[in-house]
């Protein structure tokens, strides 16, 4: 009999515990709905910061309250806190019980990525939205815009990489040219083939023919005691002329000493 009373007591305690837990849960849900209503009013008044605070309080009372999660994402988005809004939309999409709700969450994820210029993320989000609601023309239009911007960005990056590679090649070429020039200069310093070489060659020639410069001097000015062929020729011509003059004088004297016979014409 005592065992039966003990069992009944335990059942009553468990039942009352469940009852109070359910009652507490219902009370929290009511409070959560209250905070959501306050947040919605603030959102309509464009007071997005306070609206997000109210939605956060609602989630504190009921963490699985999907409407509070989604609305908090909207408040953060309108407040231009795009990065913070994305996780809220992702939670809303994950916990959504129907496809239209999932589609709306993914659509807003795409919009948030577009604001952050993450075009690849936007394209992926819009595609997920269309998978859940293929008839949404607005999402389809946003997807086309995101794809176009993504393609433009990729082309820009390609051109940037090409220019970067081109500048790098030009830089390497100039570097090689400067290196070759430097190596050439170093080679000239070590083994110069210029005017200095000619000087060395002249020095070598002087060593090979030491009388060459002396011969040049002899041509310009004969050594004392020696006569050049031209001087000898001139001397002989002078002597010959003198001899002719002397012979002429002698002949003239002979002619004056001899009497010439003159015949009369009578």
Sequence-distant (6+) residues with CB within 8 A of 155 are: none
Lowest-confidence range among 74-88, 92-106, 142-156, 237-251?
Answer: 237-251
Lowest-confidence range among 47-61, 97-111, 155-169, 250-264?
Answer: 250-264
Lowest-confidence range among 11-15, 155-159, 196-200?
Answer: 196-200
| pLDDT recorded at residue 227 | 55
Provide the whole-model pTM: 0.56
Sequence-distant (6+) residues with CB within 8 A of 46 are: 78
Looking at residue 135, the DSSP 8-state letter turns out to be T
Query: Is the pLDDT higher at 88 or at 3?
Result: 88
Per the structure block, which two tokens stand in for 103?
Answer: 């589609």
What pLDDT band is residue 214 in, cutting at 50, 70 and 90?
A: very low
Residue 16 has pLDDT above 70, yes or no: no
Closest-CA residue to 147 (of 179, 99, 182, 110): 110
Into which CATH architecture does domain 22-95 fall?
Alpha Horseshoe (1.25)
Q: Measure Cα distances from 2 to 12, 13, 19, 166 in Å.
A: 15, 17, 26, 94
Report the alpha-carbon distance of residue 102 to residue 81 in Å, rounded. 21
- Mean pLDDT in residue range 212-229: 41
DSSP-assigned states of every residue in 197-252: HHHHHHHHHHHH-TTHHHHHHHHHSPPTT---HHHHHHHHHHHHHHHHHHHHHHHH
pLDDT, tens only, 24-33: 688 889 999 9
Query: Is the pLDDT higher at 23 or at 163?
Result: 163
What pLDDT band is residue 244 in, cutting at 50, 70 and 90?
A: confident
Query: Is the pLDDT higher at 13 or at 157?
Result: 157
Question: Where along the chain do its domains lie?
Answer: 22-95
Residue 11 has pLDDT above 60, yes or no: no
| pLDDT recorded at residue 47 | 97
Task: Looking at the chain, list the stretches that DSSP marks H as alpha helix, in order from N- to C-terminal side.
Answer: 2-44, 48-61, 66-78, 82-95, 99-115, 119-132, 137-190, 195-208, 212-220, 229-257
Sequence-distant (6+) residues with CB within 8 A of 109 are: 86, 89, 90, 93, 121, 125, 128, 129
pLDDT, tens only, 39-68: 999 999 999 999 999 999 999 999 999 999
What pLDDT band is residue 158 in, cutting at 50, 70 and 90?
A: confident
Q: Measure Cα distances from 115 to 48, 102, 121, 152 in Å.
A: 17, 20, 11, 16
**Over pLDDT 90: what percentage of the chain?**
47
- Mean pLDDT in residue range 242-251: 68
| pLDDT recorded at residue 77 | 97
What's the angle, vertex CA 166, arms to CA 161 and CA 169, rounded to 5?
125
Report the alpha-carbon distance of residue 158 to residue 166 in Å, rounded. 12
């Amino acid at each position: 009999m005592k065992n039966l009373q003990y069992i009944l007591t335990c059942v009553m305690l468990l039942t009352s515990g469940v009852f109070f837990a359910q009652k507490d849960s219902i009370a929290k849900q009511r409070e959560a709905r209250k905070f959501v209503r306050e947040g919605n009013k603030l959102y309509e008044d464009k007071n997005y910061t306070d609206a997000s605070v109210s939605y956060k309080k609602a989630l504190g009372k009921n963490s699985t309250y999907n409407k509070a999660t989604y609305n908090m994402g909207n408040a953060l988005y309108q407040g231009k806190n795009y990065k913070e809004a994305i996780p809220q939309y992702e939670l809303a999409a994950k916990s959504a019980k129907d496809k239209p709700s999932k589609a709306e969450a993914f659509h807003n994820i795409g919009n948030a990525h577009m604001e952050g210029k993450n075009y690849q993320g936007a394209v992926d989000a819009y595609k997920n939205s269309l998978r859940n609601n293929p008839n949404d023309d607005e999402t389809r239009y946003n997807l086309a815009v995101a794809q176009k911007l993504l393609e433009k960005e990729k082309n820009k990056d390609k051109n940037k990489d090409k220019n970067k590679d081109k500048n790098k090649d030009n830089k390497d070429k100039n570097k090689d040219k400067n290196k070759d020039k430097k190596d050439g200069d170093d080679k000239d310093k070590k083994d110069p083939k210029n005017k200095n070489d000619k000087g060395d060659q002249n020095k070598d020639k002087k060593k090979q023919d030491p009388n060459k410069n002396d011969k040049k001097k002899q041509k310009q000015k004969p050594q004392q005691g020696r006569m050049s062929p031209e001087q000898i020729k001139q001397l002989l011509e002078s002597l010959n002329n003198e001899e002719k003059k002397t012979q002429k004088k002698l002949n003239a004297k002979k002619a004056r000493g001899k009497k010439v016979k003159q015949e009369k014409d009578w």
